[in-house]
Structure 1
Amino acid sequence: MSDSIPRILLAGLSGGTGKTIVSLACARAFTRRGRVVAPFKKGPDYIDAQWLALAAGRTCSNLDPFFHSREIIRSLFFHRSLGADVSLIEGNRGLFDGMDERGSCSSAELARMLDCPVVLAIDCTKMTRTVAAIVQGCAGFEPGLNLAGVILNRTAGERHRDVLRRSMETYCDVPVLGMLPKMKNPIPERHMGLMSDQEYDGSAHLDRLADAAAEWLDLDAILKAAHAAPDFGPRPGPVFPGPPAEKSARIGYVHDAALWFYYPENLEALEHAGAELVRLSLLDGEPWPEIDGLYLGGGFPEVFAEKIAANRPALRYLRSLAESGMPVYAECGGFMVLCDLLEINGESHRMAGVFPLTTSFCPRPQGLGYTEAEVVEDSVFFPRGERVLGHEFHYSMCVSDGAADLRHGLRMIRGQGSALGRDGFLHKNTWAGYNHIHALAVPGWAERFVAAAAARRGGER
């Protein structure tokens, strides 16, 4: 059975060309027109994905050829697109930029996997006719790429736009789908990208972007390009095969302004494996309910370090859970909270103290990109010998001399990790490190997590 899925991938020539702003503007503008938009982000990213979800009013999933097979990508894309009028994917980096000279895992490769038309956003600062040459080169660079149009961004004025349009019409057969003027990014930024919408209401910012899209972009032509996508092909199988398991354990996950980096599929995988999920916070002072397991995602604990440190009852309770043998899984920001100290701007803030370590915030990234690691010690989360794919993006570093003496679960093959080419600190049934995983790329993680939580519940009974 074949399905029609109107779809478009918005790409750029490089990072910083404005494709995120264009993607948010289109998603919000289509939504305000009454269209149901299914948003996607190519590559490992929490912040842009969260903004896309806010713009579309619908969960955003990440699609990544490094993590996922073609079958998983097509299944996830298909099932997330059900019920939508248009599916919009924001690419990452440059259109053809991948992990090697062949462009593996690039936005262009993802577009080919999904047979998806591409709209290219180009920063036209101090360029006119050269833009036509760039577009012509991109259109013919890789076989199988469907370049459906371009959006010319950061144009300087009417004369600039007129020369750009005439150059494109003279030298290219790729349509111009809009020209945006130079405008200040309405969404504040910080060290990891756009500021989190968890810290303030970003709806007004998105509406301003949608206003700009309505004025400067040919939204009808962009939708027409999406509807011109070929039939999707054979209907793929479900994202999570088999019926959901009966609820056997309650797993808490901290989701507040400090920690909120969770792929939706990670939480869904836990639910499918039999977890009842409970949302928790380290910031509001509310007591936690009884739980059988705990998941601490990444985020911005450095921004809220003083507030987290002041919540001593929650931190003491967090440590007691780890000491009791509860399965606790912590990624990046969650790892920082489990350490002794978090240093930022010359000040030290006392955290939970599960690990006798200090993390120190730095002005530049200390780990950035995809990771690959080998599990070197058995735990309730991973068996020894398993290969784990993930990613890291952290500005903090582990500065404690004692790191070498602690148990580690991972030997890094690719990536920085926490210390000495390792990651995944182990203490009883707690696993913590800088590595982020996507559940669909690590089969069995969710099932093992739930099984460990269920065993704890059974043991208490």
Structure 2
Amino acid sequence: MTTGVAAMSAATLRCPALLIAAPASGQGKTSVTAALARVQARRGRRVRVFKCGPDFLDPQWLELASGHPVDNLDLWMNGEADVRARLARAARQADLILIEGVMGLYDGEPSAAELAQRLGIPVLAVVDAGAMAGTFGAVVHGLRHYRPGLPWAGVLANRVAGAGHARMLQTALRDGDGPWWGALPRDEGMAWPERHLGLTQAAELPDAQARLDRLADALEATSLGELAWTEWQRWAVALEAPAAPAPPPWLAGRRIAVARDAAFSFIYPANVQTLQALGAEVVFFSPLADEPLPPADALWLPGGYPELHADALTAAGRTRASVQHHVQAGRPVWAECGGMLALLQALTLADGRSVPMWGLLPGEAVMRARLVALGPHAWVMPWGELRGHTFHYSETQMPLPPHAHTTPARAHGRPEAIWRHGSVMASYFHAWFASAAQAAAQLFLPQDAWAPAAPQEAAV
């Protein structure tokens, strides 16, 4: 069982909490969650938002709305103890907790519905009703009753044509499937653009805040937006986390440099917090700005969109030279997905053009039009089972034999290779460091100094 990395007390706190879910992806979960957070934040309330499942893009919008970093909650990747610990910490600091679901309410193993039921968090269903009338009631009824005992908060319709359409939808609800919390209009001015990995990053849109406020304004006109704060207490949830010891300082005294910009933005805030809890100092730099790697004992190149910034990365001579010097000195590098692509000899883009990369890892990658791999994975190491996920549109031709492979958590998944080249470790695998903190620490230690596995009771 995985646990969080910070010491916790076992105190129980009560805080209003909602899990915003939908019948499927693309229904407007992120928009509604962000709008709810923005409405309450504008009213001076402290809102903490979480995202179900492994996701790097939706949390950027949720952070913009709430003003706070967004952690991911996944019963498999985090483990239930870590999920409970993060929610309990949030309850100490916040007036309201919002959790955005993943895909459809019952999709995935475990699903958002299982998280809601296990923790007692009421579900607010968001349904894209743009092409529905009476069927809206059938969809809501199915969501409400498919899993007996599911905590339920009601339903909000999205992308509705007008007041008459909204009345038709409300009338379609059966007794016990509400409450009806109103409808958001179909409005392209509130839509957020998407690309191959999901939503466009919030920082890339100059009008991101304006779009968010327009959504919040629309939500304020619904019954949910008009709900008095005293009424929110109907959704107060008891959140308790068992005491968990802080991890040993396996990275004490080490300085870890992390690439962070529009090309390297797939960074779980929890991963940075885990490194710091292990004793590391974390510093950031921008390859897109051609910043040299700051003095560091280890380097983390996270995922992101190197394919959208390939020419700029090729031209980042100072960054490349400093990373090359780091590698030649034998200092550790952990390169995840997009970070790995940047180290390769070349990257063939979707238009067929081949762009030279930094050439510090043999092999090349090719962008594909369709998703190549998606799903949860685990890397079993001597120091623990490091969990995470994979999600990529590229394929890599690597002359190196794999150093190891991940194990997919789903029957239809395929293992991901872990490659080692000198002091570089690279993979498409995105790791959740808190799932096995000592295993994660090894990624940033010299390979000749890798410690033996800790006794079972010391694992975190």
- Which structure 2 residues correspond to residues 32-431 of structure 1 after superposition, within 5 A? 32-99=42-109, 105-168=110-173, 171-184=175-188, 185-201=190-206, 202-221=208-227, 226-237=232-243, 241=246, 247-344=252-349, 345-374=351-380, 382-383=381-382, 387-398=385-396, 400=397, 403=398, 405-414=399-408, 421-431=415-425
**Pair 421,5 (structure 1): closer, same or farther in 2 beyond 3 Å:** closer
Aligned letter for 1:300? Y
Taking the aligned partners of 1:293 and 1:27, their CA distance within structure 2 comes to: 37
Hey, which bits of structure 1, 4+ residues long, moved more than 3 A? 170-173, 220-226, 233-236, 242-247, 449-456
CA displacement at 1:186 relative to structure 2: 3.0
Asked if the contact 1:367–1:415 (Cα under 8 Å) also holds between the matched residues in 2, the reply is: no
**Pair 387,69 (structure 1): closer, same or farther in 2 beyond 3 Å:** closer
Q: What TM-score comes out, normalization by structure 1 length?
A: 0.88
**Pair 286,454 (structure 1): closer, same or farther in 2 beyond 3 Å:** farther
Asked if the contact 1:368–1:415 (Cα under 8 Å) also holds between the matched residues in 2, the reply is: no
Q: How many residues align?
A: 434
Structure number with the bigger relative contact order (C-alpha 8 A, sep ≥ 6) is 2
Q: Which moved more, 1:127-136 or 1:106-115?
A: 127-136
Q: Which moved more, 1:113-122 or 1:314-323?
A: 314-323
**Pair 81,454 (structure 1): closer, same or farther in 2 beyond 3 Å:** farther
- Residue ranges of structure 2 left out of the alignment (5+ in a row): 1-10, 451-460
Post-superposition Cα deviations, 1:303-332, rounded to whole Å, max 9, x if no partner, equal 110001011231132123223211100100
- Residue ranges of structure 1 left out of the alignment (5+ in a row): 100-104, 375-381, 457-461
CA displacement at 1:129 relative to structure 2: 2.1
Taking the aligned partners of 1:47 and 1:222, their CA distance within structure 2 comes to: 31
Partner residue in 1 for 2:432: 438
Q: Which moved more, 1:440-449 or 1:109-118?
A: 440-449
**Pair 223,111 (structure 1): closer, same or farther in 2 beyond 3 Å:** farther
Asked if the contact 2:14–2:91 (Cα under 8 Å) also holds between the matched residues in 1, the reply is: no
Partner-residue secondary structure (3-state), 2:103? strand
**Pair 219,290 (structure 1): closer, same or farther in 2 beyond 3 Å:** same
Q: Aligned match of 2:16 in 3, 6, 30?
A: 6
Q: Which moved more, 1:186-195 or 1:260-269?
A: 186-195
Post-superposition Cα deviations, 1:405-446, rounded to whole Å, max 9, x if no partner, equal 414232243289xxx954111012211110101012233134
CA displacement at 1:17 relative to structure 2: 1.0
CA displacement at 1:49 relative to structure 2: 0.9
Taking the aligned partners of 1:364 and 1:228, their CA distance within structure 2 comes to: 44
- Calculate the aligned-residue CA RMSD, in Å: 2.5
CA displacement at 1:234 relative to structure 2: 3.9
Taking the aligned partners of 2:406 and 2:291, their CA distance within structure 1 comes to: 38
**Pair 229,217 (structure 1): closer, same or farther in 2 beyond 3 Å:** closer
Partner residue in 2 for 1:27: 37
CA displacement at 1:337 relative to structure 2: 0.5
Partner-residue secondary structure (3-state), 2:371? coil
Q: Taking every aligned residue pair, what percent have the same amino acid on both sides?
A: 35
Taking the aligned partners of 2:231 and 2:434, their CA distance within structure 1 comes to: 30
Partner-residue secondary structure (3-state), 1:8? strand
